[in-house]
Amino acid sequence: MFQIGCHLSASRGFLAMGRDALKISANTFQFFTRNPRGGSAKDIDLDDVAAFRALAQKNGIQTILAHAPYTLNACAANPSVRDFTRRTMADDLRRMEHVPGNLYNFHPGSHVQQGAEKGIELIADTLNAILTPTQRTTVLLETMAGKGSEVGRSFEEIRAIIDRVALSDKLGVCLDTCHVHDAGYDIVGDLDGVLERFDAVIGLDRLKAIHLNDSKNPLASHKDRHELLGQGSLGLQAIARVINHPRLRHLPFFLETPNDLAGYGREIALLKTLREP
């Protein structure tokens, strides 16, 4: 089955997201757990969650992806920022237990002059503080473009974080096509080679989701500006190879292209024509 969806606004709750997804013939979606700039989350509405779970069951909405606010920084130099990150992520994971068995993605962080080594250590500390043996959510480290001092710009950095986490069976990776391309992995010219590299360094069994985006910038630009599918430096052919690759095609794909709901609907319809049976 082709698991395809996009980023949706969470402001009206789970049921509304489920309905939005069905409106554009998506069978999964991504959402921010709270305002992307951080701040407090609305209380979980149990009726809303129950109604969503019934809708999802009935309509075949499968694994969904929660995204942590992107202003968190698990490797900030300032301990109070790290503490805020910890509390926010721990709270998100508690809330995710209302929709068990899904995915929670976060940007590893920016080390800001502390060096990648230190960043990796602090990110692992954060994960060691918040992961629990009983949680039913898999936490995903997102591959980053390497803008500024972002950690997670290479497969080796992601692997180094995973290696330092005790409950690493709760960890996976979300590969963002715009980010890895901007980081310097040539998924346009050599997708097989990039996936072999991923497998050798991290292990493809860790890969749990794909962020499907075109990029406004060239290979290795370290920029991270998403573009509409087919209108950037990846192009539609490369994107078609990603969704059809034998080692990727079982994964859920999430669009984070600059779109409104109707635009996402058009891209999903396009992707369905590109998907090989």
182 near Zn ion, rule: CB under 5 A:
no
CA 21 distance to own-chain centroid = 17
**67 catalytic residue (yes or no):** yes
Token pair 């962080």 is found at 109
DSSP state, residue 227: E
Closer CB to Fe ion, 15 or 69, in the complex: 69
How distant, in Å, are the alpha carbons of 61, 75, 100, 241 from that of 249?
Answer: 17, 33, 23, 10
**224 catalytic residue (yes or no):** yes
**179 catalytic residue (yes or no):** yes
DSSP state, residue 232: S
Closer CB to Fe ion, 170 or 181, in the complex: 181
Residue 106 CB coordination number (10 Å): 26
**176 catalytic residue (yes or no):** yes
Stretch that binds Zn ion, among 17-25, 84-92, 159-167, 220-228 (CB under 5 A): 220-228
**227 catalytic residue (yes or no):** no
DSSP state, residue 204: G
Which DSSP string corresponds to 141-170?
EEP----TTEE-SSHHHHHHHHHT-TTGGG
53 vs 198: CA distance, rounded Å = 34
Partner from Zn ion, Fe ion, none binding residue 211, C-beta < 5-8 Å depending on class: Fe ion
Shortest distance (Å) from residue 273 CB to Zn ion: 25
224 near Zn ion, rule: CB under 5 A:
yes
Can you say whether the dihedral through the CA atoms of 132, 8, 253, 156 is positive or negative?
negative
**185 catalytic residue (yes or no):** no
What residue type is 24 in one-letter code? Answer: I
Partner from Zn ion, Fe ion, none binding residue 224, C-beta < 5-8 Å depending on class: Zn ion
Would residue 152 be called left, alpha or beta, if left means φ above 0 and alpha means ψ between -120 and 50 degrees? left
Shortest distance (Å) from residue 179 CB to Fe ion: 6
Closer CB to Fe ion, 176 or 214, in the complex: 176
Stretch that binds Zn ion, among 62-70, 88-96, 180-188, 221-229 (CB under 5 A): 221-229
Partner from Zn ion, Fe ion, none binding residue 34, C-beta < 5-8 Å depending on class: none
**7 catalytic residue (yes or no):** no
Residue nearest to Zn ion (CB): 224
Q: Which residues pair with 65 in a beta bridge?
A: 30, 103
Shortest distance (Å) from residue 267 CB to Zn ion: 16
Of 111, 224, 264, 267, the active-site residue reads: 224
Shortest distance (Å) from residue 143 CB to Zn ion: 10
Token pair 């500390």 is found at 125
Of 179, 182, 206, 264, the active-site residue reads: 179
Which DSSP string corresponds to 216-277?
SS-TT-----EE-TTSSSSHHHHHHHHHH-TTTTTSEEEE-SS--HHHHHHHHHHHHHH---
By the criterion CB under 5 A, which residues form the site for Fe ion? Answer: 142, 176, 211
Return residues touching Zn ion (CB under 5 A): 224
Annotated catalytic residues are: 37, 67, 70, 107, 142, 176, 179, 211, 224, 226, 256
